[in-house]
Structure 1
Amino acid sequence: MKFTIKINSIKSIEKIEGFWKNEDYKNLLEEFDFTDADSLNETEYQEMLLMAITDFEPDEAAEIILKYKLSDKLNEGQITNLSHEMLEDKVAEEYPDISMHYPLFNINQLLRDAYNGKFPSTIASVIEFELDFKEQITITKEIVLRAISDLLSDKSLLKRLFQEKLDSEEQLNDADSIIWELHKMADSRYQIISSKYWMDEEDFEFQEFSGELREEEIGHT
């Protein structure tokens, strides 16, 4: 199926708006022993949470938030190890299971805000682009990743690690872990959020590309 993809803009961000909901802030306030959350206005949740977090040692605070967000995916030992590692390492880039990168990015940023930069800085890329197919098709993260990879340099980390999978007809399961968010902005205009670790502006060799994806590459549900 023939397509054309064109990059419109790439920018770097340190925070992803909307990941943390007011309900999360309220629940975390309780986890940090703040007992009067019900008396607060919703607009106060985030500010009060950042203050409550700093009543704890950084590794203790990290463990509390990791347990809240990832206890269904990580065991107690993994959480304890991460709570110490994330003070020194960019776990949102280096953790072996890349499906953890998206939540770890947001957990790290919350802690970084609370402790005024004590946790390492990690950056996300927001990429806006046009993607046109000659036929009607539902755009998925897998399709976007296959298409956008044609714009990347062969030297890019994404190409070096995933070239074989990108060329394969097998389902590209890693797409959900690499493309954190996919938003449709207009008829053929889209926005993705990914880690700068995977897609930095310098990784793009081309701004526009026309090519073809085989039915076997895009027919997965």
Structure 2
Amino acid sequence: MLQILLIEDELIITKDLQVSLQKNQFARLDAARNYETAMALFLKNDYDLVISDINLKTDMDGIAIIEKFSEVKVIPVVYLTAYSDADIVERAKKTMPFAYILKPFNLNQLKLTINLALLNFKKHQDNLEPSDENAALVKTLTKREKEILVVLASGKLSKEIAATLNISVLTVEKHKQNIRKKLNLVTIGELINFALTSRLYVLSD
């Protein structure tokens, strides 16, 4: 189960995410509404990922808090925001986020974004450069196949992939079979390596 720190000042969103992500043991969430609580939790616990709203009604916004976190340790960050303002995005980029999600979002979108952030963080850690050959092959995949590949690369089994994307295990298996055929790959290890050396930042057709 993933251990996630959520920085969010809206109590309803916090409670909803804590309950929703706990289902099927996807993740356990600790929550903070301000910098002091967030930093105390960050220093005390070993989190896999941080989800932070950018627009907090406190002295420090989410970007400023993540800047402080990065002085201690760099971990995957997913920013939540209701805005796509260019200045905000530029500020956020400097803190090396590994994924964004715009409000409003649904649970499946968030789960997929979390998996994408973990994948992008691993690429960064391992200093993996995208392969031009793989980039061309990615274009042969459907949106759903890309989504499955992202979740698969984070180490999830078919049952967990199905729960994350809210589809059946049989559907996952059919898509995995199609992915293997299109990419001419056989093992799970080969598929994961492909995902790590491909441009899967934007999940679109």
TM-score for both structures, normalised by structure 1:
0.27
- Structure number with the higher helix fraction is 2
- Structure number with the higher strand fraction is 1
Larger RCO of the pair (alpha carbons < 8 Å, separation 6+): 1
